[in-house]
């Protein structure tokens, strides 16, 4: 239960905005990585393997 108590203290301190910004940046970074993998890396692997 200590972790829950620490999270409540963290949220009450006004760091919720910082946490939200971090989540947004993380989501955007995830989409960028997915795009790179889907558009650059996978077609290259397909050409090497011969499936594409």
Whole-structure pTM over 0.75, yes or no?
no
pLDDT in tens, 10-51: 777 767 788 888 899 999 999 999 999 999 999 999 999 986
Contact indicator for 51, 42 with CB cutoff of 8 Å: no
């Amino acid at each position: 239960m200590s972790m829950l108590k620490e999270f409540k203290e963290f949220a009450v301190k006004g760091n919720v905005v910082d946490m939200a910004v971090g989540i947004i940046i993380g989501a955007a970074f995830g989409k960028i990585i997915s795009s790179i993998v889907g558009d650059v890396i996978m077609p290259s692997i397909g050409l090497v393997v011969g499936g594409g």
